[in-house]
Structure 1
C-alpha cells in the first residue's frame, strides 16, 4: 500500500491530467479529485463563465481557497489541477508534485484529435488565442519543471503507460 501522501498533477492545460488521474485510480488505492471541478461546484458555474463574469483574479483566489482546504483536509488522493494551480504557495505541503510534460504543439494536436475537440477547446478560456496560449506555455513550462518532484513525458505514451509510470515513480520517490 502506498503512503497517505497526495499526488498533485500539474502541467499545461490539455496535457492529459484528468485522463491520467482517471486511469491511475483504476490501478491504485488513490481517490481522485480535480481542482477545476471543485471550483465549479463552489461557484455553481463553469470555469469559462467564472473568467467572463468574475475575472481571472477571482478565479485565482478560488484556487487559493481550494489549495488551503486540500492541504488540511485531503489525504491519499490524486489531485489533477488547472494549468495555473501550480502557483499555489502550499503545493509541496499538499503532496508530491508530478508534472505531465509535453511540447505545446503536441498538446494542441492531442486536443484537436480528441472526439470532443470543439468542447475541449471551448471550455479553456486561455486556449482561445493559440499565439497567446503558446506564450503562456513558454512562461509556465520552466516554472513547472522547477517545481516538479517527478516529471513524466506524456508525448508518445498512452494514458495507461503514463499512469503506470506515475505510480512506479511515486512509489520510488516515497
Structure 2
C-alpha cells in the first residue's frame, strides 16, 4: 500500500480544513481530489454536475484515483464525499473517515463565516432532505472502507490531527 493518508467523509465534515491543518503541522503535501478534477476539467464541481452530470463526475473521480495510485506518495489526500466509491481506494493509502452526524455537519456549514459559499459549492446539499438521505445511504459504506475512524464532533482540530498522525504513517 502507498504511504498516503486518504481523508473520506460526507461533504462538509471538514476534510479540507483538516487536510490543510495537517499539512501545516506535519510538513506534508496535501491535495484535494475535487480541486484536481476542477483543474483538469477547467470547471467548478458544481458546473461539471450541471453541464455533464454526476455519472461523468464519478468517471473523473476514478481517473483521479488512478493517477494518485500511479503517481502520488507521501501525501495527505482530501476527497470529495463520493470518492469512497472508486475501485482502487485501498491501494491509494490509509483510508481515514472523518465522521460526524448529519445534524453536526449541517450546523457546521450553516454557521460557518462563509456559509453561503460553503453550501453553494456543494451541489448535492442544495436540498437538505435529499442530502440527509444521501448521508444515510453513505454512512455504513464509509465505515466499511475506512481503516481509521475519527469522530470529529467530539474532538478539537488539534486532537484530530494528533489522532490521524498516531494511526497513520506518511
Structure-1-length-normalised TM-score: 0.94
Matched residue, 1:93: 91
Matches within 5 A, 1:1-174: 5-171=3-169
**Pair 62,126 (structure 1): closer, same or farther in 2 beyond 3 Å:** same
CA distance in 1, matches of 2:43, 2:125: 19
Residue 160 of structure 1 and its aligned partner are, at CA, apart by 1.9
Residue 131 of structure 1 and its aligned partner are, at CA, apart by 0.3
Counterpart contact for 1:11–1:83, Cα < 8 Å: yes
**Pair 95,55 (structure 1): closer, same or farther in 2 beyond 3 Å:** same
Residue 159 of structure 1 and its aligned partner are, at CA, apart by 1.8
Moved over 6 A (4+): none
Root-mean-square deviation (CA, aligned residues, Å) is 1.4
Equivalent residue of 2:98, what SS?
strand
Counterpart contact for 1:14–1:108, Cα < 8 Å: yes
Counterpart contact for 1:20–1:160, Cα < 8 Å: no
Query: Which range moved further: 152-161 or 113-122?
Result: 152-161
Residue 32 of structure 1 and its aligned partner are, at CA, apart by 0.2
CA distance in 2, matches of 1:4, 1:133: 32
CA distance in 1, matches of 2:98, 2:22: 13
Q: Which digits, 9 at most, give the CA deviation of each residue in 1:77-126, with x for residues without a partner?
A: 00000000000010100100000000000000011111000000000000
Structure-2-length-normalised TM-score: 0.96
Counterpart contact for 1:18–1:80, Cα < 8 Å: yes
